[in-house]
Amino acid sequence: MEAIGLVELNSIAKGIEAADAMLKAAQVELLEAKPICPGKYIIMISGDVAAVQSSVDAGKSIGATSAFDDFILPSVHPQVIQAITSSTQVSEIQALGIIETFSIASLIVAADTAAKAGQVDLIEIRIGMGIGGKSFVTLSGDVSSVTSSVEAGVVLASERGMLIERVIIPSPHYNLKKCLC
């Protein structure tokens, strides 16, 4: 997978129409297209960078005023897809970092940036279902790495006004650790 892209819309009908346009615009693989809370719709695709760019542009064009957020990650960190699909295998949780945002697009970009910024393991990326459209990522590593990764990850979300909260827990309780893996 060379690149991933996502368009997040605040209309389900426009989301379905945008998904169709995105798939017709370029040779991309559809990773996800579904409604999420609270009545938003996401389309996530993968492919080469130029195809993903064309596809995202088409989705934003069709989505027009319904397009809420989007991104293109030309070289996504491998842990991001694993964390989205809840297929990560984290053997030990040291320090715990959490980034929470209002949009899925800003959260995935934050998670990718965090994973690239330090020696951390992404535990989970939760995207919008059952949590009111919010998204969050949990990650682990030593305190220094978690701190630098979380701080790097929140920059774009903060600039876009999408950051809700960031938390670093230096030594999470054993019972909390059991709930995260």
Q: Kindly give the confidence (pLDDT) of every residue in the chain, 181 residues in length, as a single tens digit, with 9 standing for 90 and above.
A: 589 999 999 999 999 999 999 999 999 999 989 998 888 899 999 999 999 999 999 999 999 899 988 999 999 898 898 888 776 777 778 999 999 999 888 999 999 999 999 999 999 998 877 677 789 999 999 999 999 999 999 998 999 899 999 999 999 988 887 777 5
Residue 143: predicted pLDDT: 97
| Domains and their CATH numbers in the chain | 3-73 (3.30.70.1710), 78-180 (3.30.70.1710)
State residue 51's pLDDT score.
Answer: 97
Per-residue pLDDT, 87: 66
Please, are residues 50 and 57 in contact by the beta-carbon 8 Å criterion? no
Q: Residue 1: what pLDDT? A: 58
pTM, whole model, 2 decimals?
A: 0.85
Query: Comparing C-alpha atoms, which of 61, 42, 54, 58 is closest to residue 3?
Result: 54
> How high is the pLDDT of residue 175?
83
Question: Can you give the pLDDT at residue 61?
Answer: 96
pLDDT at 54: 98
